[in-house]
Amino acid sequence: MSKEYFIFVEGKRIVVSKEVYQAYWHETNKENYQRRLDRENQLLFFCDLDHDGNFEGNLIDQNVDVEKLVETRQRIEELNRALASLTNEEREIIDALYFRDETTRNVASSFGLHQTSLIRKRNQILKKLKIILENF
């Protein structure tokens, strides 16, 4: 007695050969495996968006605050313009103190200044930057 193989198509039981049965289940198992991997990796499927209405709301990334990113980018651009308006010496002082994290003592010695003079100069530069940034 030979074994009977069948698959369900649109709710109907269809008798098929062993080769068709094996090919069908091979592909079905492969698809299920891929879906399981995708769920584990939290991937978004286009087929999941297959419903009536607008699906753009599903695509919004809740972890990223776009407004904050735009605001930060604008502030960085303003700061770069303000820094560009400084003299070369002023820019070098700000760069050394805030971007290269050098100590005031090291920066003062490299500019041939006393530490207190450098601090006064730094404060003047920061006031100048504040005024420039407030006017943007």
Structural domain boundaries in the chain: 5-59, 66-135
Reported pTM: 0.51
The CATH classification of domain 66-135, taken from the options 1.10.10.10, 1.10.150.120, 1.10.3720.10, 1.10.8.190: 1.10.10.10
Chain mean position to CA 55:
22
What token pair was written down for 44?
């978004």
3-state SS assignment for residue 13: strand
CA angle 48, 49, 51 (to 5 degrees): 110
Does 133 have pLDDT greater than 60?
Answer: yes
Write the pLDDT tens digit of every residue in 64-118: 777 888 999 999 999 889 989 999 999 999 999 998 989 999 999 999 999 999 9
pLDDT digits (tens, 9 = 90+) for 8-39: 888 888 899 999 999 999 999 999 998 888 88
Check pLDDT > 70 for residue 54: no
